[in-house]
Amino acid sequence: MGDNASPVPDPARPDFGPPAARHRCTPLHLRNLRRLLDRFGIDLAVHPKDSPLPGSYWGEPEAGIVARTLHLRPDTPVHSALHEACHLICMDPARRDGAHTDAGGDDLEEAAVCRLQILLAGQLPGIGPDALMDDMDAWGYSFRLGSTRAWFQFDSEDADAWLRRHSLIAPDGSVRFRMRGHP
């Protein structure tokens, strides 16, 4: 990824932070998210609002990861849940089993995570890629071309190639519902 994108939120931006996300993990979104993540073998732990979230890198209400479990609350933004789930999907098995809070990985893997979360948003009724990209922008993701949508459409070829190389997406660009390192 290098100078192609910086898919981490920029706390210096005035619009940084969780309040901007429109789509939270409501009961309907939780059902759909659970159905989607079950296809990857990711466990979902839903915690009560205002309770601590294990493995949250950015702090509550942002999703957290501990091994193969995604931790979230009803006020967790859907983009955050998908982002952390995609980290688990993109990790090699050894790193996934020991994952806790910081997903690690390099810039190119981070870009692949961002691209995959947008692709998976297309599998979530009531969300979709456009709404997810809007929430990513509102939250503070920072991409060289100025928006998540512009990056996804015109500057994410390296992320796409990474996902293909690790057999996470098919030659036609569709998502393969498997984790990296699993048949």
Q: What is the pLDDT of residues 21-71, one digit of tens each?
A: 689 999 999 999 999 999 999 999 999 999 999 999 999 999 999 999 999
127, 23 contact by CB (below 8 A): yes
β-pairing verdict for 69-72 and 64-66: antiparallel
- 147-180 pLDDT, tens digit per residue, is 999 999 999 999 999 999 999 999 999 999 999 9
Residue 6: per-residue pLDDT: 44
| Residue 182: band (very low, low, confident or very high) from pLDDT cuts 50, 70, 90 | confident
Cis-peptide into 11, omega within 30 deg: no
Give residues with Cβ within 8 angstroms of 62, minimum separation 6. 18, 53, 56, 76, 77, 80, 84
pTM greater than the 0.75 cutoff: yes
